[in-house]
Amino acid sequence: GQQLNQSPQSMFIQEGEDVSMNCTSSSIFNTWLWYKQDPGEGPVLLIALYKAGELTSNGRLTAQFGITRKDSFLNISASIPSDVGIYFCAGQLLPGSARQLTFGSGTQLTVLP
């Protein structure tokens, strides 16, 4: 099955710094999604990407769908304390029988004041 490698596994940054994390896949996806999960809660959708090469922003967040369809990155600019949490990438292969999301292992982000 598909393998998603997400890195880094964890990050400690100072408030105000920019953050970058990425996911690479052994297979092609046609959708990439980025989620944030707080402790004890479900993942919250941050950004959805549907086309290779697509670059999408949501406030301080920017994500790109890699041109090879096998990778995606998420950038967070000017980090603030509420950015703390676990960030997951998720890929979807095709509509139809392969609609399930394959998740990366997560990036634990800690923002230091």
Partner 1 sequence: KAGVTQTPRYLIKTRGQQVTLSCSPISGHRSVSWYQQTPGQGLQFLFEYFSETQRNKGNFPGRFSGRQFSNSRSEMNVSTLELGDSALYLCASRSGGQGNTEAFFGQGTRLTVV
Q: How far is the CB of 55 from partner 1 (least distance, A)?
A: 17
Kindly state the helix (H) or strand (E) to which residue 109 belongs, with its residue range. Answer: strand 107-112
Contacts of 18 (CB under 8 A, 6+ apart): 75, 76, 77, 78, 79
Contact between 99 and partner 1 per CB under 8 A: yes
CB of 102 to partner 1, least distance (A): 7
Q: Give the contacts of 93 (CB within 8 A, at least 6 positions apart).
A: 2, 27, 28, 29, 30, 102
Q: Which of positions 38-77 make contact with partner 1 (CB under 8 A)?
A: 40-45, 48, 50
Q: Which one of 15-23, 28-36, 52-60, 66-74 is the stretch in contact with partner 1 (CB under 8 A)?
A: 28-36
**How far is residue 86's CA from residue 39's CA, in Å, rounded to a whole number?**
8
Q: Residue 24 or 30: which CB sits closer to partner 1?
A: 30
- DSSP symbol at 54: -
Contact between 100 and partner 1 by CB under 8 A: the answer reads yes
Where does this chain bind partner 1 (CB under 8 A)? 1, 30-31, 33, 35, 40-45, 48, 50, 88, 90, 92, 95-106
